[in-house]
Structure 1
């Protein structure tokens, strides 16, 4: 129920949805001859569209949101039992359509794991991710695709690869990974051995809080974060890219608030 309600709620309040609502409402008011109301909403929507779509405002917001999320310096990987990788890096629909592994904008979750495995092939890996689609659903599960490619294509040792393929959101990532850990390793909970948590830098604040609440002994290992934007070199005409970034950041902020209000963190 929480998953469905959160998805529907997000569709209604996402910044890009609100922008479209403002434009649509302006058109409706204009058609109904409420000219001043229409002009006000046209002005509001156009200003927001240009401010976020062309200026470096969202890049600065992204930078400061994830600024404190950096991989530990001089980390000794031998101190860790394994790494938990959160799903969200594999495009399920394109992977199915093209019959090959297709990554999305969160691809660094996979490349960072490959780098870790090259340094420490003994680390256990828990890949947590099912399908987070509310509409346009697919029977594919991200964790299953991950294991198939890592074992068969990348020739990884299957004995250290564990997958959890039921989770649909960050809270379920932590909960179902905990259940997997208890069942596979037959250990007491909360776990004592430290694990790394690998996800995108912008996602780490919420993910880390959820995993800690579930009792994990976890160390954040975020993907590389964006560098500080250079103001005079950051203006752009990539309107849609900037609005997608705005949606991503807003989802993390609102998601953190929702998780706090529902005692998930």
Structure 2
């Protein structure tokens, strides 16, 4: 119940649903109340914020400091385990395996496979519980994609009970103990994940995937025209900011490994 409540409330506080709610409230005030100035101000402010969050310089300017916390992992000491955290997915057996990994999941798995190819003696660990109506878990979906990319099933372990990052950290701790391992997740999610894993007494080596904030050249119109792509980047900022607030409320000091 608490997990569902967290997801619903957190989802409504993300930029798009929150701003749409504010715009809807402003429209209701315009049509059905005498608070015309309040409604006009709320409508204007919501439109302006939505516009700004849909522009590349603003969205990526907010996201970049989160993603730049850890650099891409190019080389590392040999490890026994590569942990890939679960994300968005579905499972349709008629699709190509990789088509079942949506949003952030496919880049996490492909980065994990890239690191495994450099360290084929390691075991890949995939985490994540099944969605309520899906018989295949997040972990199993990731494992099947990795297997389709050449990772032997004998080198894959799935942990399919954790529902969130905190539970994933506890499950990994129970499985491998304190030995160093590579932790693969989205670049924007990695700072928060590192806190959870270090609080379990683990020694993760950070390996960011799915970097979104763009520093490389773009056409000028791509920077100037609002796009749902850039709004999605702003959404990641909102999601991770809310996640860090929740983490702090549950007792984190805000720094990895400290209470």
Q: Which runs of 5+ in 2 are unaligned?
A: none
Q: Tell me the SS of whatever aligns to 1:156.
A: coil
What is the match of residue 223 of structure 2? Answer: 235
Where do 1:55-204 residues align within 5 Å?
55-72=56-73, 74-76=75-77, 78=78, 80-88=79-87, 91-92=89-90, 95-96=91-92, 98-101=94-97, 102=99, 103-106=101-104, 107-131=106-130, 137-151=133-147, 153-181=148-176, 189=177, 191=178, 193-204=179-190
- The aligned residue for residue 184 of structure 1 is none
Q: Tell me, yes or no, if the aligned pair for 2:63 and 2:236 is still in contact at 8 Å.
A: no
User: How far, CA to CA, are the matches of 2:109 and 2:92 in structure 1?
Assistant: 18
Judge which range, 202-211 or 233-242, deviates more.
Answer: 233-242
- Cα pair distance change 1:65/1:10, threshold 3 Å: same
How far the C-alpha of 1:241 sits from its partner, in A, is 2.1
Superposed displacement of residue 100, structure 1: 3.1
Query: Structure 1 residue runs of 4+, over 4 Å off?
Result: 229-232
In structure 2, C-alpha distance between the alignment counterparts of 1:81 and 1:248, rounded to whole Å: 31
Q: Tell me if structure 2 keeps the 8 A contact 1:60–1:229.
A: no
* CA positional deviation for 1:119: 1.4
Q: Does 1:26 align with 2:26?
A: yes
Q: Is the 8 A contact 1:87 1:129 kept in 2?
A: yes
Q: Cα–Cα, structure 1 residues 83 and 12, in superposed 2: closer, same or farther, change >3 Å?
A: same
Distance 1:55 1:123, change over 3 A: closer
Q: Report how many aligned residue pairs link the two structures.
A: 247
- The 3 A distance-change label for structure 1 pair 239 and 155 is closer
Find the residue that maps to 2:209 and give its secondary structure: coil
Aligned position for 1:17: 17
| DSSP 3-state at the match of 1:22 | helix
User: Structure 1 length normalisation: TM-score?
Assistant: 0.83
CA distances 1:12-42 after superposition (whole Å, capped 9, x unpaired): 3111121111110111011114322221111
Contact 1:143 1:163 in 2 (8 A): yes
SS of the equivalent of 1:130 reads coil
Task: State the superposition RMSD in angstroms.
Answer: 2.4
CA distance in 2, matches of 1:158, 1:131: 19
TM (norm. structure 2) is 0.85
8 Å contact 2:85–2:185 — kept in the other structure? yes
Q: Is it true that 1:217 corresponds to 2:217 in the alignment?
A: no
Distance of 1:139 and 1:73 partners within structure 2: 35
1:212 Cα deviation after fit: 0.5
CA distance in 1, matches of 2:156, 2:47: 49
Q: Which runs of 5+ in 1 are unaligned?
A: 182-188
